[in-house]
Structure formats: structure tokens, C-alpha cells
Amino acid sequence: MDRGAAACEPPEYVAVPSIDAIEALLARPLLDLVYDAATVHRRHHAPDAMQCSQLLSIKTGGCSEDCGYCSQSARFKTPVEREALLDVEAVVANARQARANGADRFCMGAAWREVKDGPEFDRVLRMVQEVKALGLETCVTLGMMNGPQARRLRAAGLDYYNHNLDTGASHYDQVITTHSLADRFATLEHVRAAGIHVCSGGILGMGETPRARAELLHQLASLSPQPESVPINTLVPVAGTRLEGATPLDWTVVVRMVAAARILIPRAVIRLSAGRTGMTEEGQALCFLAGANSLFIGDELLTTQNPSPSSDASLLGKLGLRAVAGASGGDREACGSGRCAG
């Protein structure tokens, strides 16, 4: 992005820039980058609005895949215990509690390589229907799936499907070998074709180069249409996984990725996702200034810790941020619960 006279009003890209240009964007002086991202953010989103989702693992562990960061892979000996697919009633009870906690979206994750037609998928469809009936937005992450499965999820009332690209193409094979990046793009095409909103992002701190981070952003920004939801995760190393000894990231890398994602995908909701337990309040606040406008609330993510609801309520309260409901930050109505923002 050219600066000069446009320093106070950063232009927006009309086409996705090259990977070289994104790498240069990520390397800009941090506060310049944050300033421009914050300016873009304010064009498209209410700057005090925070979308709050809550996540539940509906089927835990025992996955056939070899994702090097994942505590649920059967290939690694980790502290995570296998659990069968939950009952619909248990999921609905969790969703009710999430709504009471101030979440407006309920996300359900199953540790599957892919969706398989049969009684378990039918049960997930019932979960989606019943959670939707509570007035919550619905999201699932179930691994790869085909077109007919995506259409059945949409018919059940699914709003979002999460399927992350995880990392840049040049680093992908060092993290996952049992399914390809092309497989992931194919699933995202089925999601989009079925009329489901796309939630797709990545994970930082898996030994990737700055170039691979630029590739990840290029991959995400090049999805057409661009994703509505972009989670930016930081690796939470779990004992027993292949990446348990990964070098911790400097917090500024996360801020840079949030800021660049905001500039490159201006209308998306950017979620500051896994890894917030390792960030200071100040680091998170800088991410919110740079355009992160979505959080998971609740003590747990799928298998790792998340900041406590009281600490999140305290942080959002200190910053004057408010929980919102809806799909697009700038157009949202305040949910009015006040519970997320304390």
C-alpha cells in the first residue's frame, strides 16, 4: 500500500495484492500498520462492537489425521480423552448456557477427518436445528465434506462452516500430510455453494516463515467471495503433539496478522481465537484496535483453555467494547445482553 499523501486515509486494495506485497505489508512499522488497519476497520465496522461466539467439542479425540498441532489426533499421545458424539440434549443445554453467557453464535466441533453420512451426521443436523431454534447463529466444524452434505447442513439452519486453511502453502506439508490444501479449498467451495457463510483462518506459531504467513493471508483474501469470518489462532502447544516444542511467537506477530487481515479482508469479522491465554490485556487491546472484532467466550475452546468469562467481561468493560449480534460488524444491532461486555 502506498503511503505519502494517503497516510491519513489509507486506500483499500481493489485486487488482492501479491504475496510479495503482503509480506511487505506485514513488515511495515507496527504502529503505522495498526493505524491503517484501524482506519479501514472503522469504515466497515462499529469500532466498539465485539461479536461473541462460544465453542463446544461435540465429539472429541480419536481423529485419523496428523495435523501436527492437534491434541485430538489419534497419532499423538496427548492428555485428551476420546469422547463419543454428544447427545443432542447435552449440546442444546450447552447452547442455552452459551446464550445466557452472552454468546450470539454457538460453534460445534467434531474431531473427524470428514463428514460421513449416517446416524451421527443426522444427529449433528438435529443439533444445528435445535441450536438455531434457540435464536443463536450456528456454526460447525466437521472436517471435509461434499456438496450434498453442505446442502443438508444449510437446510438444517447452519449459518457458518469453519474450515481453516491453517497455514501458507509452502509450510502446509510440514504441518499436515493426510489431507491437502486442495482438499480444504474443495470443502470451502461446497460450503459457499450451499449458501453457508465461510469461516476460515489459520494458526500462527507453527514454525512458519513470514513468507508463509503472507501466503496464508493471500490464500484467504483470494477466496471469492472473501470469507465472512476469519479466525486468527496462535498455537497453544499440547504435550505429545508434533508441535509441542514450537518456539513461542512474539506477540507483535499476532497484531501484524490481525491488522493485515483487516486491511486485506475489510468486511470480514476477524476473530482473535486460540492463544489469548498467552496474551496480555494490552496485546489483545492492540489487536482489537487493529480490527479484531470477534472472540470466543467461555473457559474452554475445543480442548484448550480460554480466558475466563469474568476476565473477558473485565477486559471488554475496560475498553468500552460491547457485545453485538449479527453477521456484519458495521451493520449489527447491539445484542443488549451486556453480559459479554460486563
Interface residues toward ligand SF4, by CB under 6 A? 63, 65, 67, 70, 72-73, 111, 113, 143
CB nearer to ligand SF4: give 233 or 293: 233
Q: Which residue carries 509450510 as its cell?
A: 171
Give yes or no: 63 in active site.
yes
- Three-class secondary structure of residue 81 per DSSP: coil
Rounded distance between C-alpha atoms, residue 334 and residue 191, angstroms: 28
Provide DSSP, 19-47.
Answer: HHHHHHHHTS-HHHHHHHHHHHHHHHS-T
Name every residue whose Cβ is closer than 8 Å to that of residue 25 and which is 6 or more positions away in sequence.
Answer: 1, 17, 33, 214, 260, 263, 264
The catalytic position among 99, 152, 184, 199 is 199
Nearer to ligand SF4, 72 or 273 (CB): 72
The residue from 52, 70, 287, 340 that is catalytic is 70
107 is catalytic: yes
For ligand SF4, the closer CB: 94 or 164: 164
Distance, CA of 325 to CA of 103 (rounded, Å): 8
Q: Is residue 8 flagged as an active site residue?
A: no
Looking at the Cβ atoms of 107 and 264, the one nearer to ligand SF4 is 107
CB of 222 to ligand SF4, least distance (A): 23
CB of 113 to ligand SF4, least distance (A): 6
> At its nearest, how many Å lie between ligand SF4 and the CB of residue 214?
23
User: Out of 52, 99, 105, 139, which one is annotated catalytic?
Assistant: 139
Complex with ligand SF4: residue 43 or 82, whichever CB lies closer: 82
**Is 52 a catalytic site residue?**
no
Of 82, 128, 74, 76, give the one whose Cα is nearest residue 105: 128
To the query of whether residue 287 is one of the catalytic residues in this protein, the response is no
Distance (Å) of CA 127 to CA 59, 62, 105, 148, 299 = 13, 21, 14, 18, 22
Question: Which positions ≥6 away from 63 have C-beta within 8 Å?
Answer: 70, 72, 73, 74, 111, 112, 113
Backbone angles phi, psi at 283, to 5 degrees: -65, -45
Q: Choose between 235 and 287: whose C-beta lies nearer to ligand SF4.
A: 235
Residues sharing a CB contact under 8 Å with residue 58, sequence separation 6 or more, in sequence order: 85, 86, 91, 108, 109, 110, 124, 127
Q: What gap in Å lies between CA 254 and CA 245, rounded to an integer?
A: 19
Exposed (0-12), middle (13-18) or buried (19+): which is 157, by Cβ within 10 Å? middle
Catalytic residue among 52, 107, 287, 335: 107
What is the nearest approach in angstroms of ligand SF4 to the Cβ of residue 125? 20
CB 163 → ligand SF4: shortest distance, Å? 10
In whole angstroms, the minimum distance from the beta carbon of 234 to ligand SF4 comes to 15
- Provide the grid cell at 317: 468493560
Catalytic site residue from 105, 152, 213, 271: 271
Residues designated catalytic: 63, 67, 70, 107, 139, 199, 271
